[in-house]
Amino acid sequence: MDTPIEVLHRVFGYDSFRAGQQEIIDQVVAGGDALVLMPTGGGKSLCYQIPALVRPGVGVVISPLIALMQDQVDALRALGVRAGFLNSTQDFDERQLVEAEFLAGELDLLYLAPERLRVDATMRLLAKGEISVFAIDEAHCVSQWGHDFRPDYLALSELHERWPDVPRIALTATATPATHAEISTRLGLDQARHFVASFDRPNIHYRITPKSEPKRQLLEFLRTEHPDESGIVYCLSRSSVEKIAEFLVDNGIAAVPYHAGLDARTRALHQARFLREDGLIVVATIAFGMGIDKPDVRFVAHLDLPKSVEGYYQETGRAGRDGLPATAWMAYGLQDVVQHRRMAMEGDEAHRRRQVLHLDAMLALCETVGCRRVMLLDYFGQKGSEPCGNCDTCQTAPESWDGTVPAQKVLSTVLRLARERRQKFGVGQVVDILLGKKTAKVLQHGHDTLTVFGVGSELGNTEWHGVVRQLLAQGLLAVEPAHGALVLTDDSAAVLRGQREVLLRRDTLRPARTKSTTTGPAKPRQAVDLSPEAAPVFERLRAWRAAAAKEQGVPAYVIFHDATLREIAATSPTTLAELSQVNGVGENKLAKYGEQVLKTLHEAA
Ligand code: ADP
Ligand code: ZN
């Protein structure tokens, strides 16, 4: 029988375990239970796949992500692992076939949709085979927040009663301590060892840029930093999803929309294209992405502010699962704050309070002058990390300035409108008053006779918007939910009386972009920088891979990851033995694709 490290080398073709994997695998191989918290892209799958290959019997994986089972199984089969799945998308014959394989001991891994466990026949089937391990993926689904699959997941506690000797491993990327505790109780994992991996994703470069012309900014970001690469662009509304997707296509960039308003077939088609094609962009609402384990998503862009840091981290976490450099980019501006402050006022009192807490944390992340990663990790309970060198604020430290006087000017304009005129206005009018603009609306309301009219000539229109945005973010100013008019808060008074200083961040519209691969302590793993000679070879290999993937009807990454192709391009092996040394080239793929790769390299030379 192989040891875990031998399986890692032979089957997966990887050099070494990632942080945490070895300990988790050892625990399960030895027959113990495990509860694993690891960020998206951390490498959870190997933690149950390797025990399933090392221990006798079939590893049973419970996963709610039915739409992705086919791809997961294809990826395993490409590695020579005998995998199958049972879910509601199959007809009777297909299920029969898998069941027969299971009974004949011809499977290493069996993926099951949770609802299958409530079918008696499934339990009877499992009882007839030998099971090596139960893996419960997306284990947070047992918690009260995972409503969709909850009843099915609650049935999982029965597994332990029927198979007390089979080790169980529950995995999730959801980090809050409450969820963690709930998983443990609901699944009866009292004896389990808990493994909590670092939540850092060092290969992701975080950047939050002031929003001026979002479409143009997005286009420039895509063209200069991620041409022809796969990524996700998140927007808040269906209509902006449609508009942005169209805009990208009009500009010659391959993009498809994805939101809950599209029919199921179109959604499935767009998701499948995203998984299969190289360099396709999906423009989506947050309805897209759950369980998407495409490893080579090179960027996640937000054109609208996420509702919480949890949401932001989950969405950005879909970038760079393969460990190569990836970018989390967001354009953020005054309208985002206004809109979210208004939305946060909806619902009952308890709901509002929660929303405001979430929003304040998100806004603090946007407005920080410190390292974004330090703040993110701190938020998830990993205190005291060092500045990362791979985020925008580390690379171009934003200046802060004493904005007390401008803040007072804004607040006193709002105050005077309310006191002297019994009026409330939005940002545009307040800024026009400060700038002394005699617009029709200013003249119509006689606002040119206010004492604050024209007192703000020291700043321009954009800067004033920046000031208002930060006052809103800091809770020194508020917006009315109904009309978005500006109103004072309890904290405004101290600023107006000169008892409180206001520190603001100077917005730099285009911070210099230092290349994330070369700076800072957080070196992304496996990043191979391609030389001018190797770059075209990589493109040739990519083209070969695209053709092979198409022929076999599998996603390109099932054949080889980008990281592997890059390493092949950089080292240009000339023999199968040399090729086998490349990370990601295991026994099966060497046999299957080795000759083709060498031939492609030969032609490229
Ligand atoms: P998760 O389920 O935690 O989001 P995955 O299991 O999908 O993450 O792993 C993320 C990526 O990292 C996958 O493409 C996987 O092949 C790769 N990977 C996992 N472990 C290793 C390792 N030890 N060496 C190299 N690559 C790895
Ligand atoms: Zn940083």
Asked whether residue 57 falls in the same domain as residue 138, the answer is yes
CA distance 363 to 357: 10
261 in a domain, yes or no? yes
Residues in contact with ligand 1 by the CB-under-6-Å rule are 14, 17-18, 21, 38, 40-46, 293, 295, 321-322
Task: Give the pLDDT band of residue 115 (cuts 50, 70, 90).
Answer: confident
Residues 305 and 294 in one domain: yes
- Going by the DSSP 8-state scheme, the letter that residue 530 receives in this structure is P
Residue 316's pLDDT band, with cuts at 50, 70 and 90, is very high
Shared-domain flag, residues 28 and 13: yes
Average pLDDT of every residue of the chain? 90
Domain boundary among 178, 196, 214: 196
CATH of the domain at 172: 3.40.50.300
Ligand nearest to the CA of 17: 1
CA 301 to CA 304: how far, in whole Å?
Answer: 9
Closest Cα to atom 5 of ligand 1? 43
Q: Is 390 inside any structural domain? A: yes
Atom of ligand 1 nearest to the CA of 323: 12
Mean pLDDT of 11-37: 95
pTM: 0.82
Percent of the chain with pLDDT over 70: 95
Long-range CB pairs of 180-184, under 8 A, 24+ apart, other chains included: 180/35, 180/37, 182/142, 182/143, 182/144, 183/35, 183/139, 183/140, 183/142, 183/143, 184/35
Domain, as residue range, for 543: 534-604
Tell me the CA–centroid distance for residue 95 and ligand 1, in Å: 29
Q: Sorting pLDDT into bands at 50, 70 and 90, what band is 145? A: low
Q: Which atom of ligand 1 is nearest to the CA of 173?
A: 3
Rounded to whole angstroms, the Cα distance separating 189 from 182 reads 10
- Mutational pocket test of ligand 1: of 40, 321, 526, the residue with most ligand atoms within 8 Å of the beta carbon: 321
Same structural domain for residues 286 and 374?
Answer: yes
Q: Which of 7, 12, 81 to mutate to test the pocket of ligand 1 (most atoms within 8 A of CB)?
A: 12
Angle at CA 319, nearest 5°, toward 70 and 206? 170
Higher pLDDT, 179 or 17: 17
Looking at all shown ligands, the one closest to residue 72's CA atom is: 1
Q: Write out the residues surrounding ion ligand 2, Cβ under 5 A.
A: 371, 373, 388, 391, 394
Separation of CA 295 and ligand 1 centre (Å): 8
Q: Structurally, how many domains does the chain consist of?
A: 4
pLDDT digits (tens, 9 = 90+) for 420-477: 999 999 999 999 999 999 999 999 999 999 999 999 999 999 899 999 999 998 999 9
* 66: number of Cβ within 10 Å: 16
My answer on whether 114 and 221 are in the same domain is: no
Closest atom, ligand 1, to C-alpha of 17: 23
CB 219 within 8 A of CB 251: yes
Say if residue 228 is in the same domain as residue 274: yes
Among 176, 196, 216, give the residue marking a domain's end. Answer: 196
Atom of ligand 1 nearest to the CA of 47: 6
Which is more confident, 291 or 335?
Answer: 335
Output the CA 591–ligand 1 centroid distance in Å: 22
Task: Give the ligand with the smallest distance to the CA of 75.
Answer: 1
DSSP structure string for 320-361: -TTSS-EEEEEEE-HHHHHHHHHHTT-S-HHHHHHHHHHHHH
146-198 confidence digits (pLDDT tens) = 455 567 777 787 888 899 999 999 999 876 677 788 889 888 898 999 998 88
pLDDT of 383 over the 80 cut: yes
Distance (Å, rounded) from C-alpha 27 to C-alpha 37? 15
Residues 227 and 372 in one domain: yes
Among all bound ligands, the one having the nearest atom to the CA of 378 is: 2
Choose from 150-154, 359-363, 523-527, 591-595 the range with maximum mean pLDDT. 591-595
Is residue 514 a part of any domain in this protein?
no
Write down the pLDDT at residue 323: 87
